[in-house]
Structure formats: structure tokens, C-alpha cells
Amino acid sequence: MIHRHWLAELKLEGDYIREDVPPGKIASFLAGFAASGYVGANVTVPHKEAAFRAVVRAEPVAAALKAVNTLWLEEGRLAGTNTDVYGFLAHLDESLPDWTARTKMAVVLGAGGAARAVVYGLIERDVGRIVVINRTRTRAEMLAAEIDARVTPAGFAELPQRLRETDLLVNATSLGMTGQPPLDIDLGPLKPSAAVYDIVYAPLETPLLAAARARGHLAVDGLGMLLHQAVPGFERWFGVRPKVTPTLRSLVAADLGARERAR
């Protein structure tokens, strides 16, 4: 819907379609990509690591995350990047333009691929302290050890105390997503000036964002990240940098709403 909207808006010939590729077939699918007729692709969970292994050239951000979500061809060979970090930051820049100056400390919930991209983005913007809280503490410890000394791993027991100090709380777990359990945390101790960013976009208004708004915090939803992460790929494939507009946002939000109601 996003890419087709831009193709129509910019009057470009082309299409963006879905391919259903099971995990056992992704390596051969990507090995034959140059002959497929496509100019590029996005890949999503669980294929981002396989896509990283399939490229002959990965941009630095993808090499750091060992995950590729955007592919294109360079002289017939696959190249790739990861636009999740860009999408995360671009939406935050748009929602809270002075966030870097305001954010001395951030709490990230989760330690999977999405959390990794979030932490990488926060470090890129020089956030001084980042606490990664995860159910499986060893995963948080591994992420912290691998990324940067500014990252401190923690378990959920420490959350209330960390919320008091944080300027930005990011949910990068799958909790709160349609079909998953809710993210059951108490925002009571959260610093009043803190912003809350949920990268989950289905449903658009997660219980976390609703609770944050009710307490007067700035709530940043996951849809903006989804829309912005699509920009660099479109530009690569079609040669024009598209814009994330309120019209596009309403279109995708309405579709997400319709899907929720149909459930």
C-alpha cells in the first residue's frame, strides 16, 4: 500500500508485490534474485539475517546489525541495508524535534532484532545512557556487550526505578501487538516529561500508548517508523525520494483500523 501509493503519486511505472518465501527457501530465492526481474526487495522477519548473509555488499548499519531489510542490485549482485534505524529516528525527529537534547537516558524494552535497531539509533544520536530491559536477561546482556559500553542490561524488576530517570521509553518487544499478550507495565513511576515510543503499529493505538497519553506523556506510534523505513528503499529502486505525508499516513492507518475491526 505504501509503495503503490508513492508509485501512483509520482506517476512512475512499476509495482511492489508480496512473495511468500518459507525459511527453507530464502537462500535459494535470494541466490536467484538477479534473474527474477525484480530491481529490489524488502525482507522482513524471519529473513533479515538470511538477507544479510546473501548480500555481497552491506551498508555499515546493516553490517553492524547483521540484518538486512532492503535489497537492490549492483551490477547484477545483491547489495543491502537496514532502514529500520532510519525509520525509527526519522519518526522520532518528526514527532519530537528536540528529542536528542532532551534525552539523557533512554529505556528500551526488548532485546531482539527490533531492539537492536533502536539501540543502534540511540547510540548514533549520542544518547548518554541506555538501559535495555528484557524478560530473558542474558539476551539483554549479550546485546549490551556487543553494542556499546553506554548500554546497561537489566530485568523487568528494575523497571520502576529506571522509569523515574528516563527521558524516553521505547517498547521494542512484540508485546501489545495484535495476537500477543499486552505489555503489562505500570507507567506510574515514569518521569513526567518522558516520551513513550511504541514500535508496535498493529493496533495503531496500543494499550501502552493509550496509558502514556492518559498520563500526559508524548506518545509516538509505530506507524511512522513503518512509513519512514520505506523511504530509502523506494528511492533506491525508483530513483525518487518519496515523502511521508498525512495522506499516506491516513490511508495506512485506515487499513490497519479495518483489519483490526475485521478480527
State the cell numbers at 77.
549482485
CB nearer to ligand ATR: pick between 114 and 231:
114
Contact residues: ligand ATR, CB under 6 A: 45, 110-115, 134-136, 139, 173-175, 181
Per DSSP, helices labelled H in the chain are 2-9, 26-31, 48-54, 60-65, 84-95, 99-102, 113-124, 137-147, 159-165, 207-214, 222-238, 246-262
Residue number of the CB closest to ligand ATR reads 112
Q: Cα separation of 203 and 230, whole Å? A: 19
* Backbone φ, ψ for residue 67 (5° rounding): -150, 130
116 vs 236 by CB, closer to ligand ATR: 116
Q: Where are the alpha helices (DSSP H) in 66-206?
A: 84-95, 99-102, 113-124, 137-147, 159-165
Q: In the complex, what is the shortest distance from the CB of residue 33 to ligand ATR, in angstroms, rounded to a whole number?
A: 23
CB of residue 76 to ligand ATR, shortest distance in Å: 30
Q: Are 195 and 220 in contact (CB under 8 A)?
A: yes
Q: Report, in Å, the least distance between residue 117 CB and ligand ATR.
A: 8
Give the residue with the Cβ less far from ligand ATR, 42 or 134.
134
Cβ(22)–Cβ(50) under 8 Å? no
Please, what sign has the CA dihedral across residues 128, 184, 209, 89? positive
Least Cβ distance, residue 208 to ligand ATR (angstroms): 13
- Between 114 and 190, CB nearer to ligand ATR: 114
**222/190 Cα distance (integer angstroms):** 20
C-alpha–C-alpha distance, residues 8 and 55, integer Å: 30
**Beta strands 105-109 and 77-81: pairing type?**
unpaired
Q: Annotated catalytic, 191? A: no
- Active-site residue among 48, 66, 104, 191? 48
Angle at 110 between CA 3 and CA 94, to 5 degrees: 45
CB of 136 to ligand ATR, least distance (A): 3
**Residue number, 95 or 174, with CB nearest to ligand ATR:** 174
Positions marked catalytic: 48
